[in-house]
Amino acid sequence: MERITIEDVAARAGVSPTTVSHVFSGHRPVRSETKALVERVAIELGYRPNAVARSLRVQRTNTAMIILPDITNPFYPVFARGVQDVLRAGEYHTLLCNTDSREEEERAFLDEAISRRLDGVVFMGYWVSPEELLDVATAGVAVVNLGEGVPGAPIDSVRSTDEEGARDATAFLLGRYGSAVALIDGTMFAPVARARTSGYQRALRSAGLVPVPEYEVSEEFTREGGSRGMAALLDLADPPRAVFCANDQIAIGALQEAARRGLSVPADIAIVGFDDIDAATMVRPNLTTVRNSPDALGAHCGELLLSRMTGEFTGPGRDVVIPAELVIRESA
Amino acid sequence: MERITIEDVAARAGVSPTTVSHVFSGHRPVRSETKALVERVAIELGYRPNAVARSLRVQRTNTAMIILPDITNPFYPVFARGVQDVLRAGEYHTLLCNTDSREEEERAFLDEAISRRLDGVVFMGYWVSPEELLDVATAGVAVVNLGEGVPGAPIDSVRSTDEEGARDATAFLLGRYGSAVALIDGTMFAPVARARTSGYQRALRSAGLVPVPEYEVSEEFTREGGSRGMAALLDLADPPRAVFCANDQIAIGALQEAARRGLSVPADIAIVGFDDIDAATMVRPNLTTVRNSPDALGAHCGELLLSRMTGEFTGPGRDVVIPAELVIRESA
DNA sequence: GTGAAAGCGCTAACAC
DNA sequence: GTGTTAGCGCTTTCAC
């Protein structure tokens, strides 16, 4: 594994390193014969430009990082592809990082983004505070947060109408199945979980009801979390007639737990999810859920990030909100 | 956005850059008061080590790349997490890259890995030839291929018993539903598709049958591909009694197409998938499929890559094969 | 149209 | 236990 540098190519082609550099960058005209010669020599020698050296020199990496809580939740891969598509069009490379919802990992990746001098990061996390994100931005990394805005910081945000979506779903359940509507939420460390809880409670209050603690269980945003949550609810002396789940993974787990107990959905217990992942239409009964658009969210994150990374935009944080709407299917 | 370097810290702490460097790396002892002072100053100044400069100097990036065909196929995120887990334990960072099964993207990412001087890459592709992978290895990037081995190259490989799994699934279908067993495969550019086709044909031949072209359709490895494939098969003058699908996404699409036509599975048409993704037990009927272990495959890829990146192993390619076995559920 | 030379921020001989 | 110094491979100003 020889290491061929621009100097080797220059020497062999009988030109200066400067010229070789310009042949590759196109930053200034080079006589066409010289250019052809350099290109031939480069191939002959197996020259591969060193992006590390280049990044050090130009102080840019042309790379962005996407930090996500759970790559195995089908919502996120679609989201990631959305941002990746727009970033690629802007000649940026994208690194996808998975925190598994762990606090240390969230910090580690953010740190990584800073020390690698990445140009930007799209972040979704449960633990890191807005101030910490501000540190990242201050270090010169463009940042867009998938979630709440960061007041007073040059950080863009993109989110769905989580609270409203949760409220609508709950109101729908209340209207159709009466007042015994419970909630299975994800970890309450997640801002998105708090938003959905708040929407749920708001719907209850609007209907003149008082949220009862036993009807609000908090689990992981996974199928297993959903099963556990449903089990807890069903074991109550007075189990609910319907349950709103903070995401589809949870809802599917809940569905399975109901089936395991021989309960029919929605006849015995109604279930609504959130996200509308592919699997929502694969399970039986099909999931009534709140449509969240991972691709649209991703595309917006990409646009906002791109405009900051290129320097085209340098103002205060912009906030994009995408409507999430109830999709009624079979499970409620 | 000031740019604080190791020199700034050194100057302010009244020591040499060398000492600052060693405070952070621990590569040589530093008097404890000096150390404390340097650390304090670093924080005061907001110093962030520049990993780009470091990488250029030490000729290592401590980073590996995973290149995958379709991040929205649930099989791959699980696989990726498997490799990531072992790499993280080895202090390596992992970039996840999605080619969307596109030829240019496969090449672009591989190229990227070389020019960024990444330490290693775990690759799964449809288009890139073994020789091209060899180029990557020659450029000094450790590589492990998720799929076939690369004869004579210092490239490790990890794969499932795709051919045997396909053969077993087909044989099972043949035994239970008679000779009219069809195949819906993914793009034939994918080596894995060819292996599964060959297993399917081998089972047919073992049963004294001759594969008929009309019963072999090739689509994408997606739900849509599965629906289209199933539609084509069902539109045949003489439709099959059972179909083996090259992955679960295809099988689920096929299942849905059958449902759309009012056909009952497996009573009217039996379906078997491959992979055993989560969704296999979410659909109705539950999918009979061939279990492929994304986490085990991932872990092995991680181990092999790690041993090469650290230099602990430098021999010829090692090939790991993981058994894939039939799981009988309801769809066949 | 082309080249010389400085320097991006860091590490690691080598010296003391 | 600490410092001097020479690069890692590239881009870009300045000069011709």
Helix A248-260 with A223-234: angle, nearest 10 deg? 50
A289 beta partners: A327
Contact B112 A93 (CB under 8 A): yes
Q: How far apart are CA B9 and CA B26, in angstroms?
A: 17
pLDDT of residue B46: 94
pLDDT of residue B1: 58
Nearest residue to D2 via alpha carbon and C1' = B19
pLDDT of residue A131: 84
pLDDT of residue A98: 93
Q: Which nucleotide is nearest to B17 (CA to C1')?
A: D3
* pLDDT tier, A1 (very low <50, low <70, confident <90, very high otherwise): low
Strand C contacting residues by CB (7 Å) = A 14-19, 28-31, 34, 53, 56-57, 59; B 3, 5-7, 17-18, 21, 24-25, 27, 47, 49-50, 53-54, 56-58
- Give the pair of three-digit tokens for residue A43: 């191939």
Contact A112 B93 (CB under 8 A): yes
Helix A6-13 with A32-45: angle, nearest 10 deg? 120
pTM: 0.94
Q: How far apart are CA B158 and CA B299, in angstroms?
A: 10
Per-residue pLDDT reduced to its tens digit, A250-305:
999 999 999 999 999 999 999 999 999 999 999 999 999 999 999 999 999 999 99
What is the DSSP track for A138-160?
A: HTT-EEEEESS--TTSS-EEEEE
Nearest residue to C5 via alpha carbon and C1' = A18
Domains, in order of start, for chain A:
6-49 (1.10.260.40), 63-160+294-322 (3.40.50.2300), 162-291 (3.40.50.2300)
Contact B114 A48 (CB under 8 A): yes
pLDDT in tens for each of the 332 residues of chain B? Answer: 578 999 999 999 999 999 999 999 999 999 999 999 999 999 999 999 999 999 999 999 999 999 999 999 999 999 999 999 999 999 899 999 999 999 999 999 999 999 999 999 999 999 998 889 999 999 999 999 999 999 999 999 999 999 999 999 999 999 999 999 999 999 999 999 999 999 999 999 999 999 999 999 999 999 999 999 999 999 999 999 999 999 999 999 999 999 999 999 999 999 999 999 999 999 999 999 999 999 999 999 999 999 999 999 999 999 999 999 999 999 99
Tell me what the pLDDT averaged over chain A comes to: 96
The amino acid at A43: I
The amino acid at A47: Y
Q: What are phi and psi of A216, to 5 degrees?
A: -120, 100
List Cβ neighbours of A52 (8 Å cut-off, separation of 6 or more): B52, B55, B56, B61, B116, B117
Give the dihedral sign, CA B301/B303/B304/B310.
positive
Per-residue pLDDT reduced to its tens digit, A232-241:
999 999 999 9
Show the beta-strand stretches assigned E in A69-222: 93-98, 120-123, 142-146, 156-160, 181-185, 216-218
Q: Is it the case that residue A2 has pLDDT exceeding 90?
A: no
Q: How far apart are CA B208 and CA A51, in angstroms?
A: 57
Per-residue pLDDT reduced to its tens digit, A9-59:
999 999 999 999 999 999 999 999 999 999 999 999 999 999 999 999 999
Question: How far is CA A324 from each of CA A5, A142, A163, A291, B292, rounded to the nearest angstrom?
Answer: 53, 27, 9, 5, 36
